[in-house]
Structure 1
């Protein structure tokens, strides 16, 4: 099961609150030109905070490894998306003579 109390709590706490913080953390990591590996350490801490919010606000289980890992995976994905979106815009904006945007998450070298 992906959610402990209800799908609404997963949506509100993990995706809206935690996901918003994860997106902003991904942007901050990209804006400071830190490596992608920083995402993991930040999201481990954020997932613990999200797990505490589930516990404090909705009587969820605080020390549940299963739901902690579910929260962590969701936050890692959202943080990575924020990182890639920001890094793509950085590369295309700052090195416009070298790279062009392919999609919101990727870029490629310019031809010629």
Structure 2
């Protein structure tokens, strides 16, 4: 039985491959892009390539469809969310560590200008 988000007979395969494995790789990729001060738009081509890898794992190990535009798009959305979160997490850490006299952390994904900070 296929679902809206997965094509395998079990949702566990979708969770394992697309969310856990793909999400972890996307998170690491997002952090890596932020660490090297790349712009956020570079997540898009990186996640498009990573999406092919996730689709291949579905195909090679679990007899999924390799060239399925719908499920590729589902995987890309998941990867973009995870990659974006990793990127933002690392960027918040960078801004508050390297420019601690200008910015203070307000959460794991955000920062703000310190009161009284001058550039």
TM-score, normalising length: structure 2: 0.92
Indicate the residue corresponding to 2:29 in structure 1. 25
Indicate the residue corresponding to 2:5 in structure 1. 2
3-state SS of 1:34 partner: coil
Deviations 1:16-52 (A, max 9, x none): 1111110110010000000001100000000011001
Count residues with an aligned counterpart.
112
Alignment of 1:93-112 (within 5 A): 93-112=97-116
Q: After superposing the two structures, state which structure 1 stretch, 70-79 or 10-19, moved more.
A: 10-19
Runs of 4+ in 1 over 3 A off after TM superposition: none
Indicate the residue corresponding to 2:95 in structure 1. 91
Unaligned runs of 5+ in 1: none
3-state SS of 1:60 partner: coil
Distance, in Å, in 2 between the alignment partners of 1:37 and 1:9 is 30
More contact order relative to length (CA 8 Å, sep ≥ 6):
1
Could you say what the CA RMSD is over the residues aligned between the two structures, in angstroms? 0.6
Unaligned runs of 5+ in 2: none
TM-score, normalising length: structure 1: 0.98
Deviation at 1:10, TM superposition (A): 1.0
Deviations 1:65-90 (A, max 9, x none): 00000000000000000000000000
Distance, in Å, in 2 between the alignment partners of 1:72 and 1:31 is 22
Distance, in Å, in 1 between the alignment partners of 2:52 and 2:17 is 12
